Structure 1
Amino acid sequence: MIELRPFASLGGADHGWLKAKHHFSFANYYDRDRSGWGTLLVWNDDTIAPQTGFSPHSHANMEIITYVRKGAITHQDNLGNRGRTEAGDVQVMSAGTGITHAEYNLEEGDTQIFQIWIHPKSRGKAPSWGAKPFPRGERSGRFVTLASGFEDETEALPIRTDARVLGATLKAGESTDYALDPARHAYLVPAAGKVRVNEVEVKARDGAAITGLDRITVTALEDAEVVLVDAA
């Protein structure tokens, strides 16, 4: 099954400094049919105005992955971590027993991010944060694992959950396959461009909720950048 969730159908909010669209129920947006997808709880599509951002706030027992689509995000937390993550790159935060952090756009233009929350396998671990560059060219024509809860995927940022986050860049006409366990839950969003997932056309920032399949073929109908979560 592939369920298309067009961008125009997503919930959201406009806070002035933050324009947010929610693929799943979040904050004041609630849709009982879109309250997570397996262990994937949140996929927010955020546009953050220059010199603004999320002031210090706390999380616990959640794996939070930030994929930067445009601009850059600057992170700081109460563990002493500070870092700037640029477009195409990824940061992860394992909230564990609790972490207080802030995320700012200190750039001259808008920053656009996907923020993805996944339930952890276990609770009560020590919090942590990390970031890593993933050059788009190294994902050309194929999926590359960006964050993973599987120990053998050592090139990816570690997360404490039975899931992986992948990215691919495809030129118009290129295709790539991804093998799935039919019992798992995949969610795919083009950060840019238009693709066909099997027989379903998915435009930029649309969501495709996938389950019950053992393989998908993603074909770029125009130059595209794709993010995929494979979750329990």
Structure 2
Amino acid sequence: MIEKRTFADLAHVNHDWLQAHHHFSFGRYWDPARMGFGPIRVWNDDEIATQTGFPMHPHRNMEIITYVREGAITHRDSLGNEGRTKAGDVQVMSAGTGVIHSEYNLEEEHTRLFQIWIEPRAPGGDPRWDTKAFPKGDRAGQLEILASGFDEDVDSGALMIRADARLYGATLKAGNAIQHDIADGADVYLVASAGTLRVNGEDIAARDALAIRDISTLEIEALEDAELVFVEAFEQSN
């Protein structure tokens, strides 16, 4: 099963300082048919105006990944963490038993990012935050694991999350193609960050998405210079 969802089909909420496009139900946007995909509960495509952002607010029991597409985001939280994550890089926050944080665009340009929420494998745990630079050259023409809930990936340099999931990223030149064998039992939600791609015969443009289930292999070809990210996630067992 491959379900395509174009950027034009996403729910758009105009907050003046924030242009938010929601892949799944979130805030003002409610669609009982779009409550998530497996353990992925949120995928927001946000554009944040300069010198604005999200003031302090709470979270708990959620793994929150931010992939910065353009500009940068500055994080502060009730644990005393503070850091700036720039385009191409990733930050993660395990909300655990509870954390309060803010996210601001302190740059002189708009910041564009994907914010992804994934259910943790278990509730609770100490909240934590981390960020890491991932030079795009390291994933040119190949997939790189940017965040993961599996020890072997974290040992190899991925940011740690407490979920049975992996976040992959790649940049491809026009005409380049890569293949990925999907882990047994996993589903994939893939979004083109830039450029145009052909994935298993489906063409997608920048910020379009594919929900992929019951398929064993991804065949990804760049029709023009492109960047992509996807989450490979396992449904939680009860």
TM range (shorter): over 0.9
Distance 2:39 2:181 in 1: 19
- Structural RMSD (CA): 0.7
Note the alpha carbon deviations across 1:139-195, whole angstroms, 9 max, x for none. 011110000001101210000000000100000000111111463220000110000
Specify the SS of the correspondent of 2:8: helix
What one-letter code is carried by the residue in structure 2 that aligns with 1:31?
Answer: D
Show the counterpart of 1:193.
195
Map residues 86-165 of structure 1 onto 2, 5 A cutoff: 86-153=86-153, 154=155, 155-165=157-167
Q: Is the 8 A contact 1:10 1:23 kept in 2?
A: yes
Map residues 2-81 of structure 1 onto 2, 5 A cutoff: 2-81=2-81
Note the alpha carbon deviations across 1:100-133, whole angstroms, 9 max, x for none. 0000000001000100000000111000000000
TM superposition shift of 1:48: 0.2
Distance 2:124 2:94 in 1: 10
TM superposition score normalised by structure 1: 0.99
Note the alpha carbon deviations across 1:29-65, whole angstroms, 9 max, x for none. 1222221000011000000000000000000000000
Distance 2:203 2:41 in 1: 24
Of 174, 177, 190 in structure 2, the residue corresponding to residue 175 of structure 1 is 177
Distance 1:32 1:203 in 2: 26
Q: Which runs of 5+ in 1 are unaligned?
A: none
Show the counterpart of 1:166.
168
Show the counterpart of 2:229.
227
What one-letter code is carried by the residue in structure 2 that aligns with 1:149?
Answer: G
Q: Between the two proteins, what is the percent identity of the paired residues?
A: 56
Q: Is the 8 A contact 1:182 1:213 kept in 2?
A: no
Distance 1:49 1:30 in 2: 24
TM superposition shift of 1:202: 0.9
Distance 2:86 2:229 in 1: 16
* Residue-pair matches, total: 232
What one-letter code is carried by the residue in structure 1 that aligns with 2:69?
Answer: R
TM superposition shift of 1:93: 0.1
TM superposition shift of 1:28: 1.3
Q: Which runs of 5+ in 2 are unaligned?
A: none
Of residues 6-15 and 89-98 in structure 1, the stretch that sits farther from structure 2 once superposed is 6-15
